[in-house]
Structure 1
Amino acid sequence: MTRHTNTARRDGRGRQALAGLSTLSILIVLIMGMAFGTGLYVQAGGGLTSGNIPATAPVTHGPMRGGSPVYPEQDIPLRFNHGQHLGLGLACARCHTKIGDSDKAADFNFPTGAVCDSCHGPQHPRPATEPANCGLCHTRLSAGRVTATLRAPKANLNFSHKKHLTAGANCQSCHGDMSKVRMATVLQLPSEASCLTCHDGVKASSRCATCHPSDTNGKLATRSFSDRVMPALVPRGKSSWGAAHDLAFVEDHRGIAKANPSLCAQCHDETFCTDCHAGAVRPMRIHAADYMTTHALDARASTQDCQSCHRMQTDCLACHQRLGMGGGPDSKFGVGSSLRFHPIGWEGPPDSPQSHAFAAQRNIATCASCHTEDSCLACHATTGAARPGLNVSPHGPGFAASMRCSALAARNHRVCLKCHEPGDPRNECL
């Protein structure tokens, strides 16, 4: 008895689902049912019957309009059941006909009235002979007329359905299982967690500006261009690479900023950090306790950009000189003798494995952050009263006869006089 009762209920729901459909519409459902293997067929005298007729999908959420920095408030005064339509074998593109060519988040990808008419009969526009059936879908009516239309402002995202579909994504990849949803809301729009399953820096770019709008300097626009009243766009939840800006983040952000400074730099510039970490506000909070004894490891390995906060000529050099690591009147070639910044043998002999020439050729500006020209001239100047030095040539063999020598001398010959005395035969390119 129970089995027959359940079957009757399913049959009743199936007939109710097709109420109001034209003969052509039922044929469409039949053809698509055969294509998707649902086992649906039309019974003589009308009506849908099968052992696999879908029940009305349960409601997974209450009414929700949204209203966030990413998804603006929307108003959809319609009555719709995704689960029921999918259960009849309809593909997503059957109603969302423009998805395949949609290349912007601003594209209107909702089904149009004409698309609905292909199954539900002509209503947009409605012929004079066709009865009005607006209440089948529209929820706001007055005297039989629709009083409110769908309002869904574009998401504040850079998004292309076409690119995602071409890359192999499907509707479920971003919108989830729609077979258990009636009216879709912002809850069915992609969340950050779902996006990061592909945007991990390997499958797809992990840069925030790939999806989120940015301004002219490349920083993320943390507020909507069209609605300045909306809350600011800040990372929320566990999916934000561990950078959720909650109350604990004030104390924990130092480790995240050190491990992944490029993530912070997508929204913040250096002034945002120095507002707190410079001067008397929090002068030492950016580094761990006793960091002075271990900072050389980070400085050598370039794990962080010291120059973003510190000036090498004032902060680094002044401290190194006070500690005996800088140049002084009795220092050798401008390098302090009590504590060494460079390893033993750094200043020579030439072409040795520890030769400083490799570092100087790679980035002479780094050397100049501590050393003046006198440090270089102590070795590289021509021997003489005016240019005392060790007469160590920084040029390779055959430099005087090379095009490089001629080009440098023609551009600014005074640079050569830094080391060579006037009248020195080596001061002219041969």
Structure 2
Amino acid sequence: MSVKPEDHTPEWLHKHGPKAHKREKECAKCHEPRNCFSCHGIQMPHPKAWDKAPHGPPAKENPLACNRCHRQRECEICHKTPMPHSTDYVMVHPRESIDGEVCTTCHNQKFCQACHERSNPHDPREWMPNHGVDAKQDDRGCMVCHHQEYCDNCHKNKNPHKVDYLAVHKQPARTDPGVCNRCHEEQYCMDCHLVETPHPEDWSDWHKQTAMKQKGVCVNCHDESYCTAC
């Protein structure tokens, strides 16, 4: 007389994972752990705290073994991203790696440095005052790791500027020049204005010489009412 359960059909081996996952005690009545190990290659059922243990390495070595019991969404609950990664993940992973705690469940720092060579590509002392120039020259390079929102946190408006920004930039440049300086150096203004911008503190004492010679430069930012105020 056979004691094999009715659901153990010829296809049982291919679909037993989810049921064994939910009914492991029932499976253990007939099967020893070594029966599972012969196919899965790891202890079954998993030891306690398996999700906190370094299960990443065996999962990377044999993801199909995991898929026999676990569905994709189970991985995403903790990893916040599909597991195993898609074939193009190396191109999009930097944005997700900003939350390094998720990555370190499977990868250590050496894994990152194998490609990136160092943990942080930016030098904090140089990057903040100079990153605007780099961003203008290679904005796609920035976007590998940073979203637009990352820029907006400081700059308050999206970059690059709108097409008509050249015609209207004088107002924000006068009221808050510090925002402009985050991306633009003084020489950037000089290319058009031909004078130091923002003007130095004593500019009102000697600006008339420049105004008489280069009136067209003044009207880029100032209208006639600005002059008649004094």
The TM-score with structure 2 as length reference comes to 0.37
The TM-score with structure 1 as length reference comes to 0.23
Would you tell me which structure has more helix in proportion to its own residues?
Answer: 2
Larger Rg: 1
